[in-house]
Amino acid sequence: MATGSGQFPTMHAVSGFKLGTTSAGIKTQGRADLVVMEIPANATVAGLFTQNAFCAAPVTVCKQHLAIASPRYFITNTGNANAGNGPQGMADAIKSCQTMASATGAKTAQIMPFSTGVIGEPLPMDRLLAGIPDALANLSEHGWPEAAEGILTTDTRPKGASLKYSAGDAQVTITGISKGSGMIKPNMATMLGYVATDAQVDSELLHRALKLATNKSFNRITVDSDTSTNDCIMLVATGASDIVIDEPLFEEFVEQLTQVFIELAQAIICDGEGAGKFVSVVVEGAVDSAEALSVAYTIAESPLVKTALAASDPNWGRILAAIGRAGVNDLDVNQVQLSLNNVLIAENGARANSYSEEAGQQAMEPEDINILVALNRGQAAETVWTTDLTYEYVRINAEYRT
């Protein structure tokens, strides 16, 4: 199950950034599962990683390498998370970097490893390492579609976003892919995401742009409130366009980057495990952003709300209950208004006089649902995107290892 059209977009090549994909048989023979990405020597790279204390070995290695060297290659395997594997997991992550370095002439610290899949199982290193030459042989600036397929796990379809915009007398390209379907509440980024631009951006501005864009996109999605051990989002600026993003051009760059990030983040929600609904939870009139997000996430992560959404049941009492337990100090329930797809459901602490069950049922039928909560106590507003909770989600996760 998934929502939306799922159509993979036209992907504009980013000059200097190459991607190569192959099938190494890490979990399933014949399935694309190993992706390498080549980064120009003069590029800048920024990354954000999971906040989960039980982070996977490749996350630890990535953070160590990014702190001491300029990355030249990313290597990503699916089918195995290389998480919860202790010292052997670290040794395997480093070995993959060493093998990539030997094959490319780069230094080991210039390789960044990424893994996604089942936690707690040894990484099949013989198959992974044997696949590296084939992946390198497939490197191409036009390799985005194949790479988008190669990083998937329980996803039902690839996820990409790409745009060009004018900056001065030239155009800037921003292109990216992501993967994620379950174990989604990033708390920093998504499960895996790779975005590249041909603009020149220094390291400080690139990292700042990454954080700003992430906080309005990947940090606003949840499928099941579980933060993965392997989350990452990487941003590469190749500098090939000769457009320098300085302070005067920074705001526009962040706006365009955020658009790409939002498309990638929303694609994850559309493809959430078992998803039948794409749900926007909008909270406005909050005292501050933190308050708005607290209410939005409490609604978005409520199993009772999510199962009602799956049934297209306008059981609005579940939403009011979620609002009431979101920890809002001195909440005046008589000031709260609740609407579903523009149908006013509740106000003044009770069901709205204009509401009918027929109208509520009709509002819940579409695939896209907009839940609007007006707290009427301030000026802050935030939006969180989520899914419903279906039988299919339970089946996928019950059978994940079998």
Are 343 and 379 in a shared domain?
A: yes
- What stretches in the chain show pLDDT beneath 70? 1, 189-190, 402
Q: How would DSSP label each residue in 245-297? A: --HHHHHHHHHHHHHHHHHHHHHHHHT-TT---EEEEEEEEESSHHHHHHHHH
Are 200 and 336 in a shared domain?
A: no
Are 74 and 205 in a shared domain?
A: yes
Are 24 and 55 in a shared domain?
A: yes
Residue 182 is part of which domain span?
A: 18-270
287 alpha-carbon distance from chain centroid: 27
Are 257 and 379 in a shared domain?
A: no
Are 263 and 178 in a shared domain?
A: yes
**Cβ burial 114-135 (10 Å sphere, 16+ → b, else e):** bbbbebebebbbebbbebbeeb
Identify the three-state secondary structure at position 332: coil
Which of 235, 270, 305 terminates a domain? The answer is 270
Which of 219, 238, 270 terminates a domain? The answer is 270
Are 137 and 247 in a shared domain?
A: yes
Residue 359 burial (C-beta neighbours within 10 Å; 0-12, 13-18, 19+): middle
Are 390 and 335 in a shared domain?
A: yes
DSSP 109: G
CATH number of the domain enclosing 379: 3.10.20.340
Which of 270, 294, 322 terminates a domain? The answer is 270
Identify the three-state secondary structure at position 96: helix
- In this structure, are residues 400 and 181 in contact, taking their beta carbons and an 8 Å threshold? no
DSSP 200: B
Strands annotated E in 128-169: 159-167
- In this structure, are residues 388 and 310 in contact, taking their beta carbons and an 8 Å threshold? yes
Annotated catalytic residue, options 22, 173, 190, 258: 190
CATH number of the domain enclosing 244: 3.60.70.12
Are 195 and 240 in a shared domain?
A: yes
- In this structure, are residues 11 and 145 in contact, taking their beta carbons and an 8 Å threshold? yes
Active-site residue 383, yes or no? no
Distance between CA atoms of residues 280 and 87, nearest Å: 42
Looking only at the bridges linking them, the beta strands covering 278-286 and 380-387 are: antiparallel
Please check whether residue 289 lies inside any domain of the structure.
yes
